């Protein structure tokens, strides 16, 4: 196993999941729940998200074959999508900061999908599974590592918000967005290169 590549994939997935950026949203949505119930809901939603993401990772090649998508088109689309996500992380709109509340605890939407298992995370998993389908165990490990990191942050989110505050959370999210811009640009360049080589 190439642990350097596994770690690199795990960091990319962690950045795309954006757990630090999701901390204020999770807390706003679950603010009406007591601490024990909040922990149960977050754990449940994160487990559902992991199941969804693993399903896309393992079925990635079948999905691409069914839709007739090429590797270069997936790279370009994934790069564009990640670039848009990263720009939103760096320049958040007022809509992203709205304190959205629900009367009862949410189920699947919006905590599991799209906040954790969002389209950008799924796009990265499809890229990994289609690029090197013989390394599914390694990509699964990378996904689990990224998911564990996100889980730790989101489960400890009330304490984390008290320590770093909303400004600190925004600053960290923008820093993660800057890293993601670089990754998105590289993915886009790889897709363009592959497309040119296929002509």
d(CA 19, CA 107): 18
Q: In terms of C-beta density within 10 A (0-12 exposed, 13-18 middle, 19 or more buried), how is residue 121 classed?
A: buried
pLDDT of residue 112: 93
Confidence at residue 101, expressed as pLDDT on a 0 to 100 scale: 47
pLDDT confidence of residue 48: 97
pLDDT of residue 98: 47
- Predicted confidence at residue 2, as pLDDT, reads 92
Q: What is the pLDDT of residue 104?
A: 65
Q: What is the pLDDT of residue 125?
A: 93
Return the pLDDT at 94. 54
For the entire predicted model, the pTM comes to 0.82
Tens-digit pLDDT string for the chain (199 aa): 899 999 999 999 999 999 988 888 898 888 888 888 999 999 999 999 999 999 999 998 888 888 888 878 888 888 888 888 888 888 877 555 544 444 467 888 889 988 899 888 988 999 899 888 899 999 999 999 999 999 999 999 888 888 888 788 888 888 888 888 888 898 899 889 988 998 8
Angle between helices 19-29 and 157-198 (to 10 degrees): 130
Instruction: At 58, list the tokens.
Output: 């393992």
């Amino acid at each position: 196993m190439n642990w350097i590549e596994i770690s690199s994939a795990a960091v990319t997935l962690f950045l795309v999941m954006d757990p630090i950026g999701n901390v204020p949203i999770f807390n706003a949505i679950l603010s009406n729940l007591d601490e024990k119930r909040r922990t149960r809901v977050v754990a449940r939603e994160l487990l559902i998200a992991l199941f969804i993401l693993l399903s896309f990772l393992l079925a990635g090649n079948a999905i691409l074959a069914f839709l007739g998508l090429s590797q270069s088109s997936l790279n370009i689309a994934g790069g564009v999508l990640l670039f848009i996500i990263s720009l939103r992380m760096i320049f958040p709109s007022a809509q992203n900061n709205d304190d959205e509340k629900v009367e009862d605890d949410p189920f699947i939407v919006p905590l599991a999908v799209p906040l954790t298992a969002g389209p950008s995370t799924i796009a990265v998993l499809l890229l990994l599974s289609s690029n090197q389908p013989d390394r599914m165990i390694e990509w699964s490990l990378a996904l689990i590592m990224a998911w564990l990191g996100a889980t730790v942050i989101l489960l400890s989110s009330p304490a984390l918000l008290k320590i770093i505050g909303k400004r600190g959370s925004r600053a960290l999210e923008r820093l993660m967005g800057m890293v993601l811009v670089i990754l998105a640009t590289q993915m886009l360049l790889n897709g363009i290169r592959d497309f040119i080589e296929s002509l």
